[in-house]
A and B are shown apart, each in its own frame.
Chain A
């Protein structure tokens, strides 16, 4: 296998808004923003199992397989461009 030299140089561009956030962080923000979960629910039970029901609601709404998991299709969906109107609630 190639031993590889120095990797590509990465630069911190001024004003770059594309912060590096984990998929889980993105999902938690998405679930609240679009009405699948109340902000208070974020603390309930920690960031793990409590996401399942909300993810299922999201997956049903977005016509995705209802796995309740943060699977690749769901991650792709939450990163896709979309309308800002919440999907659930007012």
Chain B
């Protein structure tokens, strides 16, 4: 990752932002939601919070604009430059600008959200049937007022759910008319207009009056782009007019005729030869969420990275997964540190998939309190002791940073201050426990640094400070000093053991690792190797390393970095939320 020269960053954590205007491509609600989610990407891994202001000065001012839009860094029409942002600071610094010549979507093509009607703002469902006919786009059929509408389920006749599609006849954006619809015809500078116009403006935005005379009342708003509106050309925002005539031929769909670049276009009147009004047909568009998350990275102090998979790589690419790469997380945490508090918990029940577990429901005594038998029947692998008495510390979700995690008996075990929990057999149900460590493995101290089960012998290694133990069945061996493994006296603790092949493992301690023969309990002679040489992109200060479901996990604070068998970090997340499946 890279930061800007001078490591520009905000000197406070409660960042404010204001959305100055909206793109006609999406409804304001969808735009606001995309921005809020983009900020949440960064607040999830930092102590930063983001608050939207409706007016007044804000740290980050967000603006849509085209071409030269006031800052000396003009946009370039469709495609090419999508957006830009300024590093943290006063004034224009920290602001984010989006090129409104782009087709802004959520990355997968046009999503038409409705207003009013009976669908409470749901998106159109295309195709839908109405009076037995199939519709692929918004229609004004069935209405006398010409308002475009759509069904939000496949069958309007059956469900009756509908809403109005974006249209200047339904609402306007920004302006000074509080979203009132256009009034046609209206008079502007003595001329009558019966549709939205760009006259009187240099930025190309389409507008209308919301009374019959702008000259008299001066109330106006910007026209939202209708569904299936074209981009570029000389009619941006207008819908295609099918069928249209071009070079004497009739076209009922977008075409690449007449062009050498293969781009699809359509006319926005029924006769191109006569009116010459045209634009490019809408495509999948660019995800406002992803581009905003990238630009907000700049607004927080991150420069472009050379890691192609990272969000802060300069080129746009669409992804449905979490947008942050380990490189992004390291970069932003370099500036602001990691998140220090868990996400706020809603007061209502947790989402389905993890049943609520009030304290009174906790098992407190046998027989119900006995943990289920281990899957292998082996007496020592999983816990067999009695559950600990309930207390606030019993909730695995209240633990921010675990002492150690380890896959034992095919189930992930979570260790913290003398307690342990274990994941459900397939890792899909709620975590079970806690149990007292002293009940299960009595020889161990309450605070562990690492644990490891040798898949070959099923012996379990436990590490704490400068000592380690080995449990073979119910028999505890040790403790021994770490020097017995061949580690130098400077090694204060072991942070993890990961099996590489039968009988061999990697032993981690801080920024170094050793190759270890498990049977002889000895590491290779020679200097330890730096972790970063074998595992790029993982935190050097990892305090726990373990293998789970075939991937190596490096834990630092409440986060984990997951490394695939091919050595790539493919995920960074919260231990509690992602691995312990806390709500």
Residues of B within 8 A of A6 (CB): none
Which among B21-29, B43-51, B254-262 touches the partner chain? B254-262
30 contacts between A and B (CB under 8 A): A9-B258, A11-B247, A13-B258, A13-B278, A14-B234, A14-B276, A14-B278, A15-B232, A15-B233, A61-B304, A62-B314, A63-B306, A63-B313, A77-B315, A80-B316, A81-B81, A81-B286, A81-B315, A82-B80, A83-B81, A83-B84, A83-B291, A83-B315, A83-B316, A84-B73, A84-B84, A85-B85, A87-B314, A90-B4, A90-B5
**Most chain B beta carbons < 10 A, residue from A9, A10, A11:** A11
Q: Name the CB-closest residue of B to A10.
A: B260
Q: B308: CB under 8 A from chain A?
A: yes
Bound together, the chains give a CA A10 to CA B77 distance in angstroms of 22
The digit string for A1-30, where 1 denotes a CB below 8 A from any CB of B, is 000000011110111111000000000000
Residues of A within 8 A of B315 (CB): 62, 77, 80-83
If the complex has contacts A17-B77, A18-B261, A63-B306, are A82 and B233 also in contact, measured as CB distance less than 8 A?
A: no
Residues of A within 8 A of B82 (CB): 81-84
Bound together, the chains give a CA A80 to CA B81 distance in angstroms of 9
Count how many chain A residues have C-beta atoms less than 8 Å from C-beta atoms of the other chain.
24
Bound together, the chains give a CA A62 to CA B295 distance in angstroms of 18
What's the minimum C-beta distance from A73 to chain B, rounded to whole angstroms?
12
Residues of A within 8 A of B206 (CB): none
Task: Scan residues 266-283 of chain B and give those whose CB is less than 8 A from a CB of chain A.
Answer: 276, 278
| Contact among A16, A63, A83 for B83, CB-based, below 8 A | A83
What's the minimum C-beta distance from A59 to chain B, rounded to whole angstroms?
10
| Contact among A8, A82, A83 for B257, CB-based, below 8 A | A8
Contact yes or no, B316 A84, CB < 8 A: no
Contact yes or no, B77 A13, CB < 8 A: no
A residues contacting B by CB (< 8 A) are 8-11, 13-18, 34, 60-63, 77, 80-85, 87, 90
If the complex has contacts A10-B259, A17-B77, are A83 and B308 also in contact, measured as CB distance less than 8 A?
A: no
Task: Scan residues 127-183 of chain B and give those whose CB is less than 8 A from a CB of chain A.
Answer: none
Contact yes or no, A81 B79, CB < 8 A: yes
Bound together, the chains give a CA A68 to CA B343 distance in angstroms of 48
Q: Main SS of chain B's interface residues? A: loop
The digit string for B292-319, where 1 denotes a CB below 8 A from any CB of A, is 0011001000011011100001111000
5 further A-B contacts with Cβ under 8 Å, apart from A13-B259, A81-B81, A84-B84, are: A34-B314, A61-B306, A83-B291, A84-B83, A85-B85
Count how many chain B residues have C-beta atoms less than 8 Å from C-beta atoms of the other chain.
42
Residues of A within 8 A of B263 (CB): 18
Bound together, the chains give a CA A14 to CA B314 distance in angstroms of 32
Contact yes or no, A11 B316, CB < 8 A: no
Q: Name the CB-closest residue of B to A83.
A: B314
Bound together, the chains give a CA A61 to CA B306 distance in angstroms of 5
Q: B265: CB under 8 A from chain A?
A: yes
Contact yes or no, A11 B258, CB < 8 A: yes
Q: B222: CB under 8 A from chain A?
A: no
Q: Name the CB-closest residue of B to A26.
A: B80
Q: B461: CB under 8 A from chain A?
A: no
What's the minimum C-beta distance from B552 to chain A, rounded to whole angstroms?
24
Q: B402: CB under 8 A from chain A?
A: no
The 7 closest A-B pairs by CB, nearest first: A84-B84, A15-B234, A11-B258, A84-B81, A17-B77, A81-B316, A63-B308
What's the minimum C-beta distance from A90 to chain B, rounded to whole angstroms?
6
